[in-house]
């Protein structure tokens, strides 16, 4: 958190402007009509790139500042008026940019930023049209414009997305690629929607479907697969910063996987995004909040926490609230609000007061500031199943019955202390403490004192010292007669044992019931203040919960705004950001890059959208369509834009290396989890069991150990056994200070904070992992066994089968020849070296299938290892 604060604290305005300027190029569009000029899209990029550096918020040479209309319309030091709306020829900046004399022309030649004739004319025309400035684009409400009509043989329009994309392509002089072949498409769709490749049966079904709706039918199957929720959740959990440890200092385990499972269910049940928002941000405040509503509030509890000695409560209440506020702002609004923790945001209209007004919504969580290094950090919620609940009730009932039976028996008990015989009695008074309460008391419990319950021990001492009061004597008497006295205890013993067993059973059952962190409000909210310069102990002005002034006003249900009001405000139709930010992330998930590439920043430092009209159209459509996430995903993957071949021609690659114009289909490397899940799935090893506590798959030694504190319960890593090794990566235990290397290696975030866009690196270390890591190599062995058992008898048939499983397509003749040549050499070698073959097939914990020729399995293991390492395999093509 502190990191992002400081980031903005230090940003030199000039450099930022450059960054903004940089970001604009893609948005700059091909020529448009004069009446179509827009400040944000057409004019600001020119000014930002060439003028603001010396005449902007940072520096105002000659007293000239062009980024603010009011100032730009006033005379500068020289008396000249930079901009006179409607009178371009009288405006000083027009005179200067069209000047020819070296000491007149702007920008000055030494800046090496000459304006093109077209740029000069845009500025001129804009001033002629009244020089209308616009607010930053993302604060204006999205406008749903009619999709352009585009025609031509090179454009296929399946839905409005394609119209917007094609319109831009046409203006750029580019065309769409033809549709990809069916094998590519089904794999692309399956990986996009479920994170797993298609099975052979699914491929065959699709290829065999001759109906005109074959593609749509195929898409439906994946949209309604339970795997859909898992894949969607994976992306959301990056945003929500979900992990299985606290993240700081000891980095101990925490229990909130029920929240993770809630997210999976929410996507599978197609919970509308507005409800999805409200439940996570304020489920606890909903009327009659259900258990699910409460579990959902775990979103607000995923922040890192600490219990390090010396930590100050006030500081951590502050820091946790800052984290929750910033994460909320980035998740739903794409605002890097963290900057305003220390000062007014320098580039976005977010004063510190607005930040702390948002923060006030999150400042009054019930429960301690410190996590206590415990599994559960209050507030939390127990989540028994109905069966567990019944069992608990039954145990409680039995326990009660047993206890009252004991009480009754004790009531009925007649005990005469044998030490209290009449002086006249013939027998001597007893002196055995096991027979006489009085003797036992006098001896302070004697030999049995050490076995007495802790709360009775002081009483025994008092008895010994003769200082026992009546109440103490009563308690000791009961204990004595029930458990010590030889003549009475026998009748209690079985009952006491029964009660102890019941109570032990209850404790065991209770502790087996999972719980999860939730958010609850304190009965009396804390007063919140602007914290001066972001210091937890420097309260300034008092603030009430409220939303930023630059955005539409908040509707309050009560006198004091609640988190529920905030959540409803976010998904209200007036909000300019929420829908845009949400659809942009979904677009990014499907196409690899957002329409706004900086999907974490829709502020002025972020990039402009590559297709602003499309983004707005999508945002409004999503909102008006009831925030239907599945429906939205369906629209994206059924677009012709998505269905294009990803083949790229060299000249298009030069024009658009990042495929921001979509003149080809998306093609990019699988994410970390997908790389592993894919290998496990095609090999048949993957367990599709859903939900539950995080599992610990294979991990090389010395990942946790070097960073682990010795007192931490996650200091040493012990891999699980059996099925847990093969669960989907979504369920891998995530230790924040030492994330699983198979994830980090492929750019998965460590979940310490919000992450909305992963990098996609391409490194030799990734190659080494997929070649050599036991989980990939074991998968290769299992795949080899499938190939040998199911794939026929000839190498040709088997290789073909292997390629079909892995790539959803048949190999061509050349590929087959390459693989066959390789395979025969492996076969030959392992036939000669059975010892090596035996080692090869022993990889991992799962045992090789019995009865298969070892040299064959070994040879096909290397073949399968090859298939699993193909560029095509680790890529969504």
Partner 1 sequence: MHPIFEHQLLQTRRQFFGNVGLRAGGIALGMMAAESGARAATTERVHPPLPGFPHFTPKAKAVIYLHMNGGPSQLDLFDYKPRLHQFFDKDLPDSVRNGQRITTMTSGQSRFPVAPSKFKFPQCGQSGMRVSELLPFTQKIVDDIALIRSVHTNAINHDPACTFVMTGHEIPGKPSIGSWLSYGLGSESNDLPAFVVFTPAWPSSGNGQALFTRMWSSGFLPSRYNGVALRGKGDPVLYIENPPGVTSTDRRLMLDSLRRLNQREFDRLGDPETQTRISQYEMAFRMQSSVPELVDLSNEPKHILDLYGPKATTPGSFSHSALLARRLVERGVRVVQLLHRGWDQHGALPTALKNQCEDTDQGTAALVMDLKQRGLLDSTLVVWGGEFGRTVYSQGTLTPDNYGRDHHPRNFCMWMAGGGIKGGVVHGETDDFSYNIIDKPVHVNDLNATILHCLGIDHEKFTFKFQGLDQKLTGVEHAKPVMEIVA
- Please say whether the beta carbons of 492 and 483 come within 8 A: yes
Q: Quick one: which of 40, 37, 28, 17 has its CA closest to 136?
A: 40
Q: Which is nearer to partner 1, 388 or 869 (CB)?
A: 869
Q: Which is nearer to partner 1, 563 or 667 (CB)?
A: 667
CB of 255 to partner 1, least distance (A): 26
DSSP one-letter string for 520-586: -B-SSPPPEEEEGGG-TT-EEEEE-S---TTSPPPPPSSSS--HHHHHHHHTSTT-SSHHHHHHHHH
Residues pairing with 521 in the sheet: 365
- Please say whether the beta carbons of 528 and 545 come within 8 A: yes
Distance of alpha carbon 698 from alpha carbon 389, whole angstroms? 35
Q: Which is nearer to partner 1, 294 or 862 (CB)?
A: 862
Q: Quick one: which of 255, 165, 247 has its CA closest to 595?
A: 165
Q: Which is nearer to partner 1, 265 or 667 (CB)?
A: 667
* CB neighbour list of residue 495: distance below 8 Å, 6 or more residues apart: 402, 405, 406, 409
CB of 357 to partner 1, least distance (A): 20
Ramachandran region of residue 249, left (φ > 0), alpha (ψ -120 to 50) or beta?
left
Distance of alpha carbon 482 from alpha carbon 467, whole angstroms? 23
* CB neighbour list of residue 528: distance below 8 Å, 6 or more residues apart: 356, 357, 359, 360, 363, 364, 542, 543, 544, 545
- Please say whether the beta carbons of 205 and 173 come within 8 A: no
CB of 80 to partner 1, least distance (A): 27
CB of 805 to partner 1, least distance (A): 16
Q: Which is nearer to partner 1, 7 or 61 (CB)?
A: 7
CB of 234 to partner 1, least distance (A): 21
Q: Which is nearer to partner 1, 439 or 863 (CB)?
A: 863
Q: Which is nearer to partner 1, 12 or 688 (CB)?
A: 12
Q: Which is nearer to partner 1, 64 or 840 (CB)?
A: 840
Q: Quick one: which of 704, 717, 714 has its CA closest to 744?
A: 704
CB of 845 to partner 1, least distance (A): 14
CB of 402 to partner 1, least distance (A): 54
If you search the block for the tokens 């749903």, which residue do you land on?
144
Provide the Cα torsion 362, 5, 274, 556; round to 10°: 50
CB of 206 to partner 1, least distance (A): 21
* CB neighbour list of residue 101: distance below 8 Å, 6 or more residues apart: none
* CB neighbour list of residue 861: distance below 8 Å, 6 or more residues apart: 777, 780, 781, 783, 784, 840, 841, 843
Distance of alpha carbon 441 from alpha carbon 821, whole angstroms? 92
Ramachandran region of residue 265, left (φ > 0), alpha (ψ -120 to 50) or beta?
alpha
CB of 582 to partner 1, least distance (A): 23
Q: Which is nearer to partner 1, 89 or 537 (CB)?
A: 537
Six token digits for residue 644: 């294009």
If you search the block for the tokens 């004739």, which residue do you land on?
117
CB of 726 to partner 1, least distance (A): 18
Q: Quick one: which of 82, 84, 101, 85 has its CA closest to 93?
A: 82
Indicate the pairing of strand 380-382 with strand 875-876.
unpaired
Q: Which is nearer to partner 1, 380 or 745 (CB)?
A: 745
Six token digits for residue 102: 């070296």
Q: Which is nearer to partner 1, 575 or 855 (CB)?
A: 855
Q: Which is nearer to partner 1, 522 or 649 (CB)?
A: 649
Distance, first Cα to last Cα, the chain:
37
Q: Which uninterrupted H or E stretch holds 622?
A: helix 612-624
Q: Which is nearer to partner 1, 687 or 822 (CB)?
A: 822
CB of 653 to partner 1, least distance (A): 7
CB of 857 to partner 1, least distance (A): 11
Distance of alpha carbon 383 from alpha carbon 527, whole angstroms? 32
Q: Which is nearer to partner 1, 586 or 841 (CB)?
A: 841
CB of 791 to partner 1, least distance (A): 18
CB of 71 to partner 1, least distance (A): 24
């Amino acid at each position: 958190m502190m990191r992002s604060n400081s980031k903005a604290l230090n940003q030199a305005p000039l450099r930022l402007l450059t960054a903004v300027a940089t970001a604009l190029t893609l948005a700059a569009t091909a020529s448009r009509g004069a009446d179509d000029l827009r400040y944000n899209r057409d004019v600001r990029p020119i000014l930002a790139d060439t003028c603001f550096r010396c005449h902007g918020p940072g520096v105002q040479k000659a007293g000239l500042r062009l980024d603010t209309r009011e100032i730009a319309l006033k005379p500068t030091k020289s008396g000249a008026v930079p901009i006179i709306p409607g009178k371009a020829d009288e405006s000083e900046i027009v005179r200067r940019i069209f000047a020819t004399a070296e000491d007149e022309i702007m920008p000055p030649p030494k800046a090496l930023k000459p304006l093109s004739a077209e740029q000069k004319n845009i500025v001129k025309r804009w001033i002629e049209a009244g020089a209308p400035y616009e607010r930053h684009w993302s604060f204006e409400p999205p406008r749903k414009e009619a999709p352009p009509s585009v025609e031509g043989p090179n454009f296929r329009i399946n839905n409005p997305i394609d119209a917007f994309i094609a319109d831009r392509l046409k203006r750029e002089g580019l065309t769409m690629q033809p549709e990809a072949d069916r094998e590519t498409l089904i794999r692309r769709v399956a990986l996009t929607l479920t994170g797993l490749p298609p099975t052979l049966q699914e491929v065959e079904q699709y290829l065999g479907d001759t109906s005109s709706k074959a593609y749509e039918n195929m898409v439906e199957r994946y949209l309604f697969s339970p795997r859909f929720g898992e894949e969607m959740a994976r992306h959301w959990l990056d945003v929500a910063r979900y992990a299985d440890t606290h993240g700081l200092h000891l980095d101990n385990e925490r229990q909130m996987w029920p929240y993770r499972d809630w997210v999976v269910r929410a996507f599978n049940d197609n919970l509308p995004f507005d409800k999805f928002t409200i439940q996570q941000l304020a489920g606890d405040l909903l009327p009659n909040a259900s258990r699910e509503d409460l579990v959902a509030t775990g979103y607000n509890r995923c922040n890192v926490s600490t219990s390090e000695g010396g930590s100050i409560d006030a500081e951590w209440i502050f820091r946790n609230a800052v984290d929750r506020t910033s994460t909320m702002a980035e998740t739903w609004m794409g605002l890097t609000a963290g900057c305003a923790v220390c000062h007014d945001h320098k580039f976005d209209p977010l004063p510190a007061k607005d930040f702390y007004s948002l923060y006030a919504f999150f400042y009054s969580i019930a429960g301690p500031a410190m996590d206590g290094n415990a599994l559960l950090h209050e507030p939390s919620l127990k989540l028994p199943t109905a069966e567990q609940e019944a069992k608990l009730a039954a145990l409680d009932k039995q326990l009660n019955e047993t206890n009252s039976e004991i009480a009754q028996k004790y009531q009925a008990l007649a005990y005469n202390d044998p030490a209290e015989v009449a002086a006249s009695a013939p027998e001597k008074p007893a002196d055995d403490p096991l027979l006489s309460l009085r003797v036992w008391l006098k001896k302070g419990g004697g030999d049995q004192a050490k076995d007495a319950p802790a709360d009775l021990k002081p009483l025994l001492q008092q008895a010994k010292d003769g200082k026992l009061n009546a109440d103490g004597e009563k308690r000791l008497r009961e204990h004595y007669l029930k458990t010590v006295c030889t003549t009475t205890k026998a009748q209690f013993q079985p009952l006491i044992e029964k009660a102890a067993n019941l109570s032990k059973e209850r404790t065991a059952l209770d502790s087996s019931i999972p719980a999860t962190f939730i958010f609850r409000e304190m009965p009396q909210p804390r007063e919140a203040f602007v914290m001066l310069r972001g210091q937890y102990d420097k309260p300034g002005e008092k603030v009430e919960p409220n939303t930023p002034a630059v955005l539409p006003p908040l509707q309050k249900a009560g006198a004091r705004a609640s988190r529920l009001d905030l959540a409803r405000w976010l998904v209200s139709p007036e909000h300019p950001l929420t829908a845009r930010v949400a659809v942009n992330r979904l677009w990014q998930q499907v196409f690899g890059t957002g329409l706004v590439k900086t999907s974490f920043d829709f502020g002025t430092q972020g990039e402009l959208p590559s297709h602003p009209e499309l983004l707005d159209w999508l945002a409004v459509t999503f909102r008006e369509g009831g925030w239907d996430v599945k429906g939205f995903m369906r629209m994206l993957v059924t677009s012709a834009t998505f269905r294009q071949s990803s083949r790229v021609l060299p000249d298009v690659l030069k024009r658009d290396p990042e495929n921001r114009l979509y003149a080809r289909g998306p093609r990019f490397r699988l994410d970390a989890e997908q790389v592993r899940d894919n290998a496990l799935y095609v090999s048949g090893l993957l367990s599709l069991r859903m939900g539950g506590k995080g599992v610990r798959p294979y991990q090389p030694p010395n990942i946790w150990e070097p960073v682990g504190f010795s007192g931490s319960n996650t200091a040493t890593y012990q891999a699980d056994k059996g099925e847990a090794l093969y669960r989907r990566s979504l369920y891998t235990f995530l230790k924040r200070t030492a994330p699983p290397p198979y994830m980090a290696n492929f750019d998965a975030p460590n979940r310490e904070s919000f992450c909305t866009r992963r990098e996609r690196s391409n490194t030799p270390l990734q190659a080494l992992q997929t070649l050599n890591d036991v989980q990939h190599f074991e998968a290769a062995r299992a795949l080899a066994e499938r190939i040998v058992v199911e794939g026929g008898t000839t190498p040709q048939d088997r290789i073909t089968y292997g390629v079909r499983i892995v790539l959803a397509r048949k190999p061509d003749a050349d590929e087959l020849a390459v693989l066959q040549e390789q395979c025969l050499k492996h076969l030959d070698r392992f036939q000669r070296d059975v010892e090596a073959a035996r080692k090869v097939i022993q990889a991992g914990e799962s045992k090789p299938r019995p009865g298969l020729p070892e040299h064959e399995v070994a040879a096909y293991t290397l073949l399968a290892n090859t298939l699993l390492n193909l560029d095509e395999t680790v890529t969504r093509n």
